[in-house]
Amino acid sequence: MLKIENLTAEIDGKQILKGITLEVPAGEVHAIMGPNGSGKSTLSYVLSGREGYEITGGSATFNGIDLLAMEPEERAAAGVFLAFQYPVELPGVGNANFLRTALNALRRARGEAEVDAMQFLKLSRAKIKALQMSEDMLKRNVNVGFSGGEKKRNEVLQMALLEPKLAILDETDSGLDIDALKIVADGVNAMRGPDFSALVITHYQRLLDHITPDRVHVLMGGRIVKTGGPELALELEAEGYAKVAA
């Protein structure tokens, strides 16, 4: 499904990704772990199409199509979703309006009928309930005044509504309390299936207790330095990056 080959990228002339090779087959969940500043968020932005990064080499394809040549909205329409490490506040933009606009934009791009306000309300209520969020969240401005955990849940709500084929979760567990972590993990697990892949970026093993990854990759200094099974996360937690990567 996602295939990254020898991808290099820089920002403001500074090389951050130094040759990433990684493949996530359909239906699999892969975890990426790595020290602060190693390039995890950079990779997620490059994959989802944020401006400001210069791709200096390599490739990234999604179901065989060149991801890097597409606009961010085209990637979203193709099924790529990024749950932001730092969700962006949008003062003056109502959450419900935002979610419905996004959902309908995707549906339009996929040739499906748009949902009206009533259908959307019904749909979003069900998802909100599953994530044990308050319906209030829909009435508020996107992420404005949301607590850290509420922002992360709002990201997962977006994922649940937009039903991507590839979800990149950038530290979605950070800032979540223990119960919320479980709820969010259940949200991700509910989407698992032969048509859904995920790249889960995290610093902590505890998320992986709930979302068992098929593979774990260690990203250090802009490169994948080690890949293993779920046990690699435990090893990292016990020994630290320096030792495991050595």
Partner 1 sequence: MNTMVTGAAAFLGRFEGLRERLPGGRTPWVAKLRAEAAESFRAQGLPGRRIEAWHYTDLGVLAQLGFTEALTLADEAPALPPARAAHRAVFVDGRFAPALSQLSAGAAPLAEALDATQGRLGALAQTLPIVALNTMLFEDGLVLDVPAGVDAGEMELLSFATHAGRAIAFHPRHLIRLGEGARLTLIDTSIGEAEATYLHNPVYEIAVAEGATLSHIRIQREGRAGFQLSTVLATVQAGGTYDNFTLNAGGRLVRNEIHVALQGPKAACHMNGAQLVAEGQHADTTTFLDHAAPDCASRQTYKTVLAGRSRGVFQGKILVRQAAQRTDGYQMNQALLLSDDAEINAKPQLEIYADDVKCSHGATVGALDEAQLFYLRARGIPADTARAMLVEAFLTEAIEGVTNPLAQEALSEAISGWWQKEAV
**Contacting residues toward Mg ion, per CB under 5 A:** 40-41, 85
90 lines the binding site for partner 1 (CB under 8 A): yes
Name the token pair of 160. 């649940």
Which positions from 123 through 162 interact with partner 1, judged by CB under 8 A? 158, 162
Which positions from 69 through 98 interact with ligand ATP, judged by CB under 6 A? 85
- Residue among 112 and 177 whose Cβ is closer to partner 1: 112
Distance CA 211, CA 160 (A): 16
Q: How many helices (H) and strands (E) does the chain have?
A: 10, 12
Q: Which of 51, 64, 193, 246 binds partner 1 (CB under 8 A)?
A: 51
Strands 14-24 and 2-11: antiparallel
Length of the chain: 246
Q: Which of 55, 93, 121, 224 binds partner 1 (CB under 8 A)?
A: 93
- The candidate with the shortest Cα–Cα distance to 120, out of 109, 142, 140, 135, is 135
Is-contact 96 124, C-beta < 8 A?
yes
Cβ neighbors of 6 (< 8 A, separation 6 or more) are 19, 20, 21, 57, 58, 59
73 lines the binding site for partner 1 (CB under 8 A): yes
Residue nearest to Mg ion (CB): 41
- Residue among 31 and 96 whose Cβ is closer to Mg ion: 31
52 lines the binding site for partner 1 (CB under 8 A): yes
82 lines the binding site for partner 1 (CB under 8 A): yes
Q: Which of 5, 11, 221, 227 binds ligand ATP (CB under 6 A)?
A: 11
- Residue among 41 and 95 whose Cβ is closer to Mg ion: 41
- The candidate with the shortest Cα–Cα distance to 232, out of 23, 24, 243, 222, is 243
Phi, psi of 72, deg, nearest 5? -55, -45
Q: Determine the longest span between alpha carbons in the chain, in angstroms.
A: 56
Name the token pair of 137. 């969240």
- Closest contact distance (angstroms) between CB of 165 and Mg ion is 23
- The candidate with the shortest Cα–Cα distance to 121, out of 143, 141, 151, 95, is 95
36 lines the binding site for ligand ATP (CB under 6 A): yes
Q: Which does 231 bind (CB under 5 to 8 A by kind): ligand ATP, partner 1, Mg ion, none?
A: none
Which residues of this chain interact with ligand ATP, rule CB under 6 A? 11-12, 14, 16, 34, 36-42, 85
Which residues of this chain interact with partner 1, rule CB under 8 A? 48-52, 71-73, 75-77, 81-82, 84, 87-88, 90-93, 98, 101-102, 105-106, 109, 158, 162
